[in-house]
Structure 1
Amino acid sequence: MGDIKKLLQIEHGIIQAPMAGGAVTPQLAAAVSNYGGLGSLASGYVQPDDLRQQIRQVKQLTSRLFQVNVFVPEPIPDVKKEDVAFWEKRLPVWPEAHRMPSEEELWDDFERKINILLEEDVPIVSFTFACPNEQTIHHLKQKGIFL
């Protein structure tokens, strides 16, 4: 445990989970980091501009390291049009805000968030669902970001 604590520059072996969906706030992440653990922001379900604001809030609340977790998109499986039509007849109409984004939109969101992490000098980044491509890893490491 000592090696990871040294790498992350934390006093306690606590890494706060980056729980997407609103459970994590900049105040919580900063409080964990200020205590001597590793505070975490979750970027899943957060718009890129809101993520930038959250990162800046954490930086105002702590001078210690924190991390941001990013969802790495996975390929969306091919779906037959007749299957979609079958379920569209049986399910309630979903508002536009709840529709499933296209694979292109998911990758655009991912790239925007990676650029924000680079621009905002986020110290530590973790990933969920998959590993990013080598180019993304290279850009983050080149900036000195711990992955």
Structure 2
Amino acid sequence: MKNFKNIFKISNILIVLLTVVLWVWNNLSISRMGVARHIHYKNASLFPKIFSHTGLIILTIILFLILIIEYIMLNAKNYKKCIVYILFVFNILSTIFMFTYDIKKIFIFYYVVIYIILINLILFFEILIKYLKKK
């Protein structure tokens, strides 16, 4: 039981650290030209066709499938549904963000999309561990 609490604490700390890193990365990309050049190079070399419109639609479908699976797991174990509601709001806002903005408006757009995916995966594995623990 104690190991599961540590896993949840570590995952929450990881979410906060990812948020801080993304915020600092965004501020550095605005204020430092070397960082901006590095981001531009990485954007051109790593993400040429991955986050196209079709790719964003597929990512959105995957995020909402994960949300449905989490809801089914929590519903089977009679947990509080507030986690799923928070994730649902987060996924709606993430979807609006992904389809409203692009690389021309936000320079670190690709990294923000990766951040959104990582947050969803971390929370999915948290709920999966809770589900398997009670089974």
Bucket of the pairwise TM-score, normalised by the shorter protein? under 0.3
Q: Going by fraction, where is helix more abundant, 1 or 2?
A: 2
TM-score normalised per structure 1: 0.24
Which has a greater percent of strand?
1
Quick check: which has more Rg, 1 or 2? 1
Q: More relative contact order in 1 or in 2 (CA 8 Å, sep 6+)?
A: 2
